[in-house]
Amino acid sequence: MLNYIIKRIGIAIPTLLILIAVTFYLMHAAPGGPFTSEKPLPPQVLANIEAKYGLDQPIWRQMTTYLWGILTEFDFGPSYKYHSRTVNEIIGQGFPITLKYGFWSFVVAISVGISLGAIAAIRKNTWVDYFAVGVSIGAQVLPNFVMAPLLIIVFTLWLGWLPGGGWHGGDWEYLVMPVIALSTSYMASIARITRSSMLEVLNANYIRTARAKGLPTKTIFFRHVFKPSLLPVISYLGPAFVGLITGSVLIDIFFSTGGMGYFFVNAAFNRDYAVMMGITILVGALTILFSLIVDLLYAWIDPKIRY
């Protein structure tokens, strides 16, 4: 097991380096730069700015300087757009926000999604099943860019219960709408996956055996059905978790949460190279980390899997 983990980390480093190199190249290949604007800067001004940020150096040189800064000082560089802020500060500010609403969305999506899926599977082809499936399909087809403004209209404008946006350090009333908007589609997917995998397990031979033995339904469900039917859910959860905690640009736009998603997308439009790079590295590293965690969870759940 330990060997396996070490091997996976060994692969992660070149993977990240390739990610950095490709992103760096693509970023600079996009037309325009951080200082391209409608009113073009005089050549002298542009030269001064590029010299300050080292953008006058060849690409490979910029990349090695950048990597060196990360390795030696954990410095991800300055933002070219927000002059007084560094990438470390931007991520340091945005990531905890994203992490918080992402984490709660994850909790809500799992708990509601799995319960809904399980209930639907157990009460297959009854009104409970139809209701659960209906809810999850409804949640799936309602995209969050429709959901978010609707929530604001209902809870802020009509009912006046919740503030229309902002973060305020993540007080619960600022958290409710982002979490609902972000979690619904994940919740729906989890419910559907849980339902179908649980139905499959319920029809398996060993469950029939358990029933034949006369085990109580409760025991059958919790001891023999629940764990194996979570396997496909878990393979979905790894990437879903990374997706949730690395931010949703739509949530940030509609609820003014100040999370990382908006910075990421904006950095691409602004050609804010260092911000784009920094967030890419973070998301890349988290993706690698969580796919490792998912693989380890597999081994825990399914005794047939050994590393």
Partner 1 sequence: MNYLPKSLAVGFVLATFAASSVFAAGTHPVTGEALADDQTFTYSLLDEFTTADPQMVEDVSGSYFVRDLFEGLMNQDADGNLIPGVATGYTTNDAKDVYTFTLRDNARWSDGNPVTAHDFVYSWRRLADPATASPYSWFADIMALENVGAVMSGESSPEALGIRALDNHTLEVRLTASLPYFAAMTTHASTFPSPQWTVRTFGDNWTKPGNIVGNGAYVLTEHIPNETATRERNTMYWNNDATIIDKVVTLVINDENTDFTRWEAGETDKGAIPSGQYPRLKAEYPDEAISFPRLCTYYMTFNLSPSGPEAFKDVRVRQALSYALDRSVVTDKVLQGGQIQAFTFTPGATAGFEVPAVAFGQMSQDERNAKAKELMAAAGYGPDNPLKFEYMYNTSEGHKKIAIAAQQMWKETLGAEATLANQEWKTFLKTRGGQNFDVARGGWCGDYNEASTFLDLMTTPSGYNDGKFSNAEVDELMTSARTMSDATSNYTRVEEIMANEMPIIPVYHYTGVFMLRSNLKGWPFNNVEQNVYSRDLYKVAD
Name the site residues for partner 1 (rule: CB under 8 A): 30-33, 35-42, 44-45, 48-49, 51-53, 78, 81-85, 90, 93-94, 148-149, 152-153, 156-157, 160, 163-167, 252-258, 262-263, 266, 269-271
In whole angstroms, give the CA distance from residue 258 to residue 119.
Answer: 37
CB of 100 to partner 1, least distance (A): 13
CB of 208 to partner 1, least distance (A): 54
Local structure of 78: helix, strand or coil: strand
The amino acid sitting at 225 is V
The beta-carbon contacts of 61-66 under 8 Å, at least 24 apart in sequence, are: 62/24, 63/20, 63/21, 63/24, 66/24, 66/274, 66/277
Residue 274 · residue 75 · CB < 8 Å:
no
CB of 240 to partner 1, least distance (A): 25
**Cβ closest to partner 1, residue 78 vs residue 117:** 78
**Cβ closest to partner 1, residue 143 vs residue 239:** 143
In whole angstroms, give the CA distance from residue 88 to residue 74.
Answer: 8
**Cβ closest to partner 1, residue 155 vs residue 290:** 155
Q: List, in order, residues 6 or more apart from 41 with CB less than 8 Å away.
A: 35, 49
Torsion of CA 156, 157, 161, 167, to 10 degrees: 20
**Cβ closest to partner 1, residue 197 vs residue 270:** 270
86's torsion region: left (phi>0), alpha (psi -120 to 50) or beta?
A: beta
CB of 7 to partner 1, least distance (A): 40
The amino acid sitting at 76 is F
CB of 103 to partner 1, least distance (A): 19
CB of 183 to partner 1, least distance (A): 19
Q: Using the structure block, give the residue that is written with the tokens 């397990």.
A: 201
CB of 258 to partner 1, least distance (A): 4
**Cβ closest to partner 1, residue 162 vs residue 199:** 162
Residue 4 · residue 257 · CB < 8 Å:
no
Residue 78 · residue 72 · CB < 8 Å:
no
Residue 84 · residue 154 · CB < 8 Å:
no
**Cβ closest to partner 1, residue 22 vs residue 51:** 51
In whole angstroms, give the CA distance from residue 249 to residue 247.
Answer: 6
**Cβ closest to partner 1, residue 186 vs residue 254:** 254
CB of 147 to partner 1, least distance (A): 13
**Cβ closest to partner 1, residue 248 vs residue 287:** 248
Helix H or strand E encompassing 285 = helix 273-301
